[in-house]
Structure 1
Amino acid sequence: MHCRKITSLPGLSLEERQKRNHHVPQSFFYQNGHRQFRGPSVGIGKEPLQETFKDFCSASEPIEYDPALIYGQRKKQQVTPFRPHFVLYDKKTLKFMAFFRQHVPDSRMEHYRVRHVNIFYYLEDDTVAAFEPLVKNCGLSQGKLVRRGKIAKTSQPGFFYTWKDFNVGNDVELNGIIFHIADCDTFTREFLTANGIEVNERECIPKDPVSIEKMVQQAQQALKHKTPSNDDKLRRFLEYSGMNLCFDCVLDETQRPGGELITFKMYYSLEDDTVAIRELPENQQGRDVSGMLLKRTKLPKDWRKTPIDFPAIIFNTTEAEIDEYYQPRDFIIGNTIFVFGRKFLLLDCDKFTRNYFDKVLRCVQPGKLEIQKPKPSQIKLKLPDYLGLGTPEDSLASCYSLIPRTPKKDVTSYLINSNKTLRYGCRIETAHPEDKDRRFIMSYNLSDGSIKIMEFPSLGISGGKFLTSQKVPRPDSNPHKPDYYTPKDLYIGAIIKVYATRFVITSADLFVYRYMQAHPELFSPMIIDNVRMYHLKEGNLRDDIQKAIKEDHEKYIAEVETKSNISDAIHDAMTERVPELVTGKRIPSPYISEDEVKKEYHGKEDKYKLPCNINIKNEDTILSDTGRVRFLEPHEE
């Protein structure tokens, strides 16, 4: 439709559509306080009034022709409409993807976090805001980090950030936090490029280490996902209630110090796949009484294999943390069952268990397994050294029991040698002249081996007890295991060292000689002869000499009577140099004087083998050159 055919109504002309100024001129005003009316000088939008056109000219005025009527309306240059800044950039925002690192103190899992942020620049009012995308279960307060507003530059006080300061790869400090811009959206890149800013290439935003670890854990959990079992627990309870697989097992603890083989009873409950271990009464000797080693519980094959995020302080695990539990097919005789780090070897099972494996599991159990228990090793205890407190026997008694006991005495020796004492006379071996005249009596008690020393009173010394009754160790013995003096160490001429004092034995009583005769295996013949000679000099063996002569006389008479020929007896007697026996004048009487007893004893010296230097002279005896006493011949009288 042609534009000239449009009805000339307000709003339908083309010129009116292009018009933007529709201000109505003012027609009313106040003058001296009175309201006045004045006709408008211009039209709407400051257009000239129609009265000024040629059509409204007066008739007296000459008619002027408008060229527009001939040539048409002149085309006006189109004017771009004015739009304010807030209208031009309304709802237009620049988006930048950035990140910043946050330090994490006092954490062994992470040292820093990488937090991703979206920075928005609003072009309508040059404000900036920063938001952090929400991440599930991150444990951080996310969302709006920087409120919308104009952000002042730290490096240039008084100036604010504009869109020219944002570019990929730049660091922007907003409220004390330094953000590194790594990327931007398509509109932002086109806007900056259109305004003459070269946008850098996109950078990779680093991932948060904790987020990566969580993703790995989630992937692992996805792989470990188990399909829920369709097993009916009620059916199993009704079918297998009270049914247990019973096994004989042994716990091998021989590798640890003091360990041994201990037998147990292991029960597998078919009702809920739990395992229980009961101790046997024979294994409770010397141990704490405990009925059950393991209560009914599901037994995992690898109890240490738990997820990474599972707390180590928690001991109770569920099926979500354990991969695999022991099943009935794992309980075969000869197999080793690991029970929370302990090894149990299956040895045998009962009849019900064998029937269950044969009919239900179609598996044959092997025969009974026999094992030989190793012999217990005997550990030799090393006794501690003697500390010097009390006697070594008393100190040793405290090593055998917690409560020290009195050392046991040799009751047999005490009963046999009760009230038997060996007494010796002794003196001190010293270089001091004042101690040479001191005399002592040393008493040795045969019942307990103790020695007591008493001193005789002398000039300037009151005498009395020199050493209480006690065992005296030898000087060359081990102080931790001492060897004590015994009767075989005590004889005339022996040197006895009593701690720091040396004693020389100079004499012995007659009981010492009797003891030596009764125990010749303890003393050498020379020691016994030495004591015998001492007592001979002292005249303590008179009864022995008379007894010996009487025994020889009776033996001699018995030999003479048995001989048939008296001449042979006389000849034998003459060859043996016996006094007159053959003539029949007289027979020696067994009761003779003391001088003749000494003469007869020393005449038989070859028989007794006693060296003697005593000069005995009588009418019937004479001392030979060899120092031996012999009888006189008849012609020597």
Structure 2
Amino acid sequence: MEACPGGASTTLTAWEPEEALPSLPGFRSNRHATGNKKQTMKYINRHMFLTEARHAVAARQSDLVASNSATSLALRSFGKATDAPSRRPQTSGSYFGGRVLCFYAYFKEAVQNSSIETCRVRRCELYYYVCDDSIQIVEPKLENSGVPQGNFMKRHRVPKPHGDEFFTLDDIEVGSAVELYGRTFYVYGCNASTRAFLTEHRGEPASDELPPIDRYEALREELTSRETGKNPRVSHNIQKNPMKVFAEAALGNTVDNSGRSGFLKYGTSVLRFYCYWDDSQSLYGDVQLFKLHYFLYDNTIEILTVHAPNSGRERSPLFLKRAKLPKQTTGFYHWTDLRVGGEIDVYARPVRLIDADRSTRAFYQKEAGVDLAPRLLPPVVAEVLPTTTTTTKTSHRAPLGSDGDSLTSSSSRDGSLARKARPRNSEAVLLRYRAEFAEPKHEDIGRVFVLLYDIADGTIQVREPPRRNSGIVGGNFLAKVELADAPLVGTSVIASGHAFKILDADEATLKFMEAHASEFPLSHFPTVRGLYADYAKARFHDDNCRAALAALLGPKTKLSFGEFENILANFVPPIGQRGPPKHAAITFWRAAGKDGALPADALLQIADP
């Protein structure tokens, strides 16, 4: 009670609203309620829905009661204000524990322009969530169905076609139809847990029914069963893995050994016949040649195609895949039915045998005591083969090109390069040399090349090692060109208009030439020593030859390669005057030299007879 000016008095009661109180500490809560709002309006399947909770009104009333209680407590307390707990009504989800009911249903989909079916039966599963009366439809995925399957209708409360009501559990019964968004679903069954739930709360549901058979699906299942081997009644003639047969036999399964007698008797022997098929009577037909292989251990036959040049046919290797060849009447062909000159029927194609190889003739002589007939000629060979031989007259060799180019130009009007075949007995050896330009220009001084000579085809190619800051890109300098003989060190080689001087050769090249001294005489040490002896005796005469060589040597007992070349220059003419090249000096040095030097006695021995 508080006195007011003028003698009036006023009293504060707990039931007055909070808005009537001033904003003083202790009279108003400092907690601010959140302003977030949940989305309630959605657009689902081209339809607008208001997703407000079923108990929204009751919840708002409960919140209002709790708010009034909290306000009353705030007015009567001077400490921290506390909110009263919300009392919302209990939902069916908390009562049933989130139970989900599963119903089996199907719907029919119209099919246009099909000779097999007019409508297609699509089976699906209908899930009903008891907690919030929502429905979800899932279509099981089938292999190669051609339609997108899976979640057919997502979970939500489905409205009825007329009115503002939603579908509930009372609208779904086994054996009835449910129309959802204009599509009729026929419920033909449910699972065991759903049946038990319905029996407990609503009564025994109707018994399950069988869905109608989809004709197209049945045809696809039959085709898939036959193609993939899932149907055990269809024979695919698939040979078992030998390990699987062994494992089954180890477990007690019987094994059919009827096909092994041929292997134990003949092993892997194969008979070969040559045959042909005369198809010249048909349009664009001709005579085709084949090879027939007969496998003795399992009595199977395969026929291979013999390709002729310019036949106009695809080069398919197989004419008949290896298998037992059936006769026109009954049974299969056996090796006793095959004879040279005989005819067999290969699936309505008459094939005549005209020859057999040597081992096949020996087999028939040993096993059956029969000599096969001599070789016969097919009609195409008898008509086409000439009776006389012709000779080709070649023209003289042209001034340009090789002998192969001249022969090619004589046999054809259009000039083309002759094909080069590598000799079978030739060695795949590359001789490597270091070379430079024989007459270099000013800008080419100092350029070094590597020459590769191929012994097999007599060609040479030139490469240039890359050098830094040279301004020249290294790599291939010249492609392969023909060269009659292998070059020697000290000689010159002309390739594609470029003259190269051979400076040196690698160790492998020198060893190869020494091993083939018959082809490279200047790599034979006795030949080179005799050659130097002839030059020395011709220069210093026979009587004074040793003394002249000793005078050239002086007090030296060992010579370097440069000193050895200087002494040779006194009695050996240069290469331009029919003298031996530097290659001969290298051969003499490699044979007589020791520890990187040439003994003086080795040079004096050339004067001895």
Q: TM (normalized to structure 2)?
A: 0.34
Q: TM (normalized to structure 1)?
A: 0.33
